Structure 1
Amino acid sequence: MRQEEKARGTGPVLLVVAGLAGAALWWWQSGAGGAAVPAAEERGEGPAQAIAASLPEVRPELVLNPRFADRAAIAGTVRDPQGQPVAGAQVCATTHANELATKDKERPSCAKTERDGHYRIEGLFPVRYAVLASAAGFAPGKYFHGEGASRRDWIDLRPKMEAQGIDIALQDGGVEIHGFVKDLSGGPVEGAQVAADATFTWTAADGSFSAWVKEGSVWVSASAEGYAMGNEEGGAPGHEFELFLTPEAVLIGKVVRAGEGGEPVEGAQVTAVAGNWGFMPKSAYTDANGEFRIEGLEPGAYKPRAEADDALGLAKEQVILGLGETSASIVIEAHPAFTVEGKIVTEGGGSCDDGTVVIRDSAQGREAWMSVQSDGVVRKRGVLPGDYQVEARCRGFVSAERYERVKVVDKSVTGLRWDVSKGQSIRGVVVLASGKPAPKMHLEASLKPDPSQPRAHQTANVWGPETDAQGRFELAGLLPGTYELSVDSWGRQATPAKPTIVEVPKGKDATGVRIELPATGEVRGSVRDPKGNPISAAKIAASDGVHWQFENSKDDGTFHFPSLAGGDYRITARLGWWGETMRAPGTSDDDVQGERAEVREGKVATVKLVVESASGRISGVVRDEDGGPVADAFIEATRESDSAAKSAGSGIRQGRWGDFLEKPNLTDQDGKFTLERLPTGKHTLRAHRKGGGEGIVEHVELGSDVVVTIASAGRMSGTVNVRGGAVPDEFTIVATDETTGFHRSDQFYRTGGAWSLPELPPGQYKVSVSAGPGTAEVQASMSAGKDTTGVRIELAPKVTVRGTVVDTEGKPIAGLNVYVAAPGTWSGSGGDEDKRYVTDEQGRFELLNSPTGKVEVNVTPRSWASDEFSWTTVPVTLSADAAVTELAPIKVARKRVKGGEATGYLGIKLKEPEPGADPLTRQLIVAHVRPGSPAATAGVQLGDQITSVDGQDVTGANFYLYETLTEVLEGTTLTLGLANGKSASVTAGKAP
């Protein structure tokens, strides 16, 4: 991986992914609320299987919600790693079952073990639960049952069920963490629930807590009555956690049937859909009066969506919730809709317990996901009439090439059956370099496509359960073919750089596969400022160009990577997942940062990072347009990069990423604030009411006392219609201010084409609309405190797109997925049963119902582990004037660096495009050349425009080829063509 010269930086992307993985870690560990991440199976051309679809003549009977069913109980024993019972251990049952309201599943049911290690938990809903145990001196344990592909980490309960033998083994290696939960004023929150690494605990009167977890980075979240959730990531042990809770916002309302009378709808699930970014949407069920109450929300914009057995409704406008605010009662009118229900049936007649069904009406742009519930049924309520394509997946089984479409007309569709077959398996073991078993490893099998059958039915990617205590694994549900097996440890253990190749012959399983993890060494170090003060809670990255791992510095500034594969690593630090890499004193963001560490087997390397100070302060006051103080404003500071590659205003846009992961800073009653622990440099400050309105001040020096004025927000509204005057029943609006990075999306249903977006800050907006009949994009401006009304948007019809994918030599490429994406919509990905979106032997593809205007054509390999091609995004303008558009051949560059190989270094940074710039006219301008680098030696200079790489045009719409063409091995010579008519021969070197 190159460290500087990419047109689009990859390092921050990896950090983003790792940050989101951390945010999802507790959810993943504490209970699968349905199916795990589905395998990306693909079905190809061929005759449809004779799968019968039952179309009943009457409405389905209402299914009893598990909230009202008889409760269940579980019991078992907790033991230590040597098999001895553990007294006083805490055992908790937790669920994420969609059948329950959020409030019913946020608090786990827990019990303590007796002297003989036995426990019993009563009063459980008859749904799917994960069961977790923790005790002082141990790492937490989790209940597992089954072996191989049948290994599960949950239990499905039934009404009145008495589940015995739910035994759990604790693990060695536990460490204790400590912390405090506070409100935004700094006061303690007593009785807050804290979740960390499959452990639950509750705060004392002073807000303190402690918990035993596994050593390493841990994600900790806290919730309490009257508050929204707070979270923090840190190293365990050695970091004192401090979690701040925001007063909750509450959404209340009523669901009624549309039309005269307004009969209340009982039992509808109402979900608060966030208008921008949000984790784990919260939901509630309506009572006999149709009323609902959704608590624990962050301030922000929400659209309530109601789904019932026979109805679907959306609020007419987003609800803007301020800090600690309870909304006025919202009335949601629910229109007629239906239920789709069925079962995934495994070979032999059993019921799939871990699967998903996706129904998709590509003509209307609709898609619905259904996970197998605890009763073995997949069920989706609130389905609108349509002709739905079906994709059914079951972990460990092979899906049919095609399933009969589900046609919803004027009644619900139940009794459906989707058959899956057994397929074949890969079984083996993962071991450490010492030969000891490696438990808790995650494996993925990726099928290498057969070039002679580019559209053939295939299982592209299959995930298996994690390895057991003996390191054993089984990946089931495979078709014959050649597979690449990859191992992932969630960053806690070095894994092989290259996948293991396994051949699965027809009619026979592959057994005896042995994957040995690489021999490892350690890196221990510290990160301090020039005065020797420790930098705590910094995100530390270690990379050798192939492997990446992340850890957190402790409060004393130290950090530890216990398992790195041998090699030469660069160690860097940053504050927050989205912050810029911390600089050494006297350097800039264009200099190479961090220190080198040589990792050798069984050895400990040491590193001392000296970085800019992170003890700066900025104070100030937030005022409204009339000069009055704003007492409920959140304020964030983002250090501005001094890189020559950055475009204007980058600090504004970057500051929007990840504020949900950072400590909230709220103004006091006088509008005053103080921001601390800021790194050296200038900062962009953004003050905002999360319900609407914001103010931005750029280039703020440390030590400053500033005034941030929040400009009044306004409402943008208008109408949407199809050419000819008809209005769509449903459509999606996406409004984006590309200069500031502000983004808001919303969905509308049965509004007569009317739409409105409340509380938008002033700015220049790109407003994108998507609906079944078509798409459109317009520009609209917002002035402070004024509404923008009458924005009329006429949808251009969707079109059929045809084209050819070729390599840089013009040869057709078979077996690549192609789809078109625009804000709020896409086409082609899984939307065509006959695989027309997969390129054939001539590289040809055809996409139905494609959006028009300025769009992106995405070309991806069917296998994620492809060593031949990577994800390619091509900007294109599609006209709606013709029903069928033939694109010019789309060039895709072949990878020059394979998986497990380090990328050579050029020493170039390119200028980022200005926000809103037309990608079709993109120019690759050299913004920085590192002194002494291969590019500098070859004569590349600041301001040069690169027009070609090895003769391939990279100007304008072809700019996307640059990244793949310049990712080469060390020692490879590239010829860079320049706009001045000269060329430069650059030989890639080793990354510094």
Structure 2
Amino acid sequence: MRAWKLGWWAAVLVLGLGVAVVSLRAPEGRAPSASSSNPSANAVGAGARDTAPRAPRAEGSLRITGVVRDARGPVAGAQVSASQVDADTLSECLFPEASPAPHSGSREPRQAGDPFLEQKIARLVEAREGEAPEFARTATAEDGTFALEGLPAGTFTLWALGDTGATVRTDIQAGSDDVTLTLEEGVFISGVVVEQSKLVPIPGALVTAVHEAGARYFDALTDARGRFRVGPLPPGRYLTVASAKGWGTRASREEVWLDADVDVTLELQPRLRLEGMVLTPDGRPASGMTVHRVSQEDPDDTRTTRSDARGRFAFDEVPLGAYQLWARSEDETTFGEALTVPPNAVAIRMQPLLFMEGTVRDEQGNPLKGVSLSLDGQDQGDRPSPVAVTDEAGHYRVGPLLKSGTRVILRCEHHLDAQQDIELNGPHAGPWDFTLRRALSVEGLVVDTDGAPLQGVEVKLERTGGASQGSRHSGADLDKTVRSDDGGRFIVDSEAGGAGHLLVDVPDFRTVKQAVVIPSTGVRLVLERGASVSGTVVDAKGQPMSKGDLLLWDTAPLSGSPRTTSLDKAGTFSFQGLKAGHYRVEARVRTPGIEHAVSQAVDLEERTQARVSLRFEEGHTIQGRTVDTDGQPVPGVRVQACLTLEELPPWRTGDPSCRAYSEDGVLSGADGRFILKHLTAPSHQLIARKDGHDFVPARSRGGTPDPAALIVATGEEDVELVLERRPRLRGQVVSEAGTPLPCTAGVWSPSVHSPDGTFDLPLPADGHQRLIVSAKGFLDLVHEFVASPGQDLDLGMLRMARGRKVRILVQDEVTRAPLAGVTVLIAANDELPLSARTYFLPSFHGTLDAEGGTDLDELPFARVVLSVSRVRSIIAQDVTVEANQETVTVLLPDPTR
């Protein structure tokens, strides 16, 4: 037995795109148009849902009339519809305007929001929920006129969608006449839907583009090569959702305002069967147990089933991924949980629930009332970790608890926080008593300038010199920031006395740093709202900008990061709690290929309220072509523009270099032509990117080359961005018998799936490289090689060695009972450094099945050492698997003994 010493690594392989497209479908009985809100009936096999349109919310007698035009005049045959965003639509459910959001007035750059937002979007769209109801639809007459009939009272969003353009207008009152809808140049969303691991195209997948603000759904099906195309659509911000029969639904959301065509890759995971068994604490099948399944990627994705007479259960059509399973007995005396990745079978071993009790006293032995006890890592399925509060006698009882090992954290006003690790099944059988030391406290009240108490304000106590005060009693290192109660009162404790200060830094109020003596009572913290800046942001046509980021820069030296907030639907914003000084308000919006910005200086005096209006300029364009070294067009190149160092405003921080995201940029067309619009700076850096090519600024025309970019003046219309073909890597993958093997091969990224074992990959760089090849039933092949500049390389025939499956059974070291339902870590170790290996070795992290075992696939036909340990244990057991062994038993000690 030895201490756990394992290295963990992962390889990620990515595939490129195809080029074919398919047309948009329309609902039954309607002419095809970009406004299709429901897939056609023949799309059911591709994962479509109910095709019935959402019923109108009300019947009315009002109408809206008008005309649809483009730059050439009235447009005949355009589809015009009226919809309404309500509380049930995706826009309001997931992006509510009224939410104050943690970004509002934040002093830090805006962070990512809900980490599960994309999964929530996917669920809504898959169920065909969340779409704005459509109240009326018509087609324009020969003279471009239209009439939307039968509308109830209220305001509507009007959509006009033609063959070459589209537009959307909000807040049109029912009963309005002579409304003009002017078609803008429409945008197309195209791309490919692929299987995630091998990136094989998925034909017949349903792709839905969702207009984020208007909650309208636009659908298309992928063709035989997995390609799709949706549009023309009105400019705006869109979500893309892909689904297919037998595959999990996935959503993609980018913070990009689309005013140009884009091409995206949507990856789907297969749906699998998840099987398992529920066992009693003594290892017998537990029937009739309700088993809950929760996705680790999306906590809202939950399902339940019941175990049968043999304790078995199954979930069908489960997307590939990690899942937590749990069950609780009806009398709440036992609980079990497991972590698994389908299709691995798993066991849920029920365990008796424990309770912990004892008394908390002070250093003089007096019982302490009101001590809060919280326990880490004791959450059980749908229940958080339990908490308890001591009574008049200082007594507590907390539970039920599942894990015998836990960390107890104790908090009490006027006492130092403490924490202690407890083993409930250890030699000490309880009760578990604790002693808290008396603290030196600072007590006070938080109010505004009118004397009104402020609730929920964070108050932090710091020692003079900047050392934050946190108790180190019993090894604790706890945050001593406290929140004021509903009366504005606060008590913050310290281990040491002396000089210190209280710090309050919250949105909408001026930062307060007030000197204090520790201990103190009767401290009064007065928060001033200070100065404020509010205003509106409009586009070049004067229309409110509902999407974008607002930044407030303090232009004083060393002022740090800006405050950030977002625009509401009316294009308004507000910053409060500002001190006097010189500021710069900046609005940003990202479109394909470039981030646009507009700013205005603001001078604030104490308690002033300034208003500004920011308007994006129409700007100029840069036009050009993407070509190869012979001057021939290279289509599908992603072109980006960003500010040069010289053009970067002095108040902005950060690198002006263009983003390296693989799917960002304006796409060049079949003739290699591209256009970057609405540029306002005198010059920009341009970069070009396409898989299998290198951008060569030195050979490009129309600007000044830099090592990685071409500096181009705005308005330039004769730019040529030259791309040079990367050298290629070729080969043939076969079995030991020489039979071609379907496989996936890649050098870092991208990778390619080959049905016949042949591969032809661009080399991402020169010099030492590593090819990784995987094939079902064979050991992953790792092939080292050296790439020479400008030279293709043929590796010839690469032989893969067949792997074997070994059954690993894990048992208790003393009782020899199978450790069914125990979560373990297993890793193979051949003692060779990674650079010397010709294959990767598998590993396992999950819950053992009903036999206390798991299968480890693709082990070599050679002696291998396995290291096995329980999760959260520092002890691992080594076991040797001989070349001809199919089953091996590992004995693990009970950590509670």
Please report the TM-score for the alignment, with normalisation by the length of structure 1. Answer: 0.35
- Indicate the structure (1 or 2) with the bigger Cα radius of gyration: 2
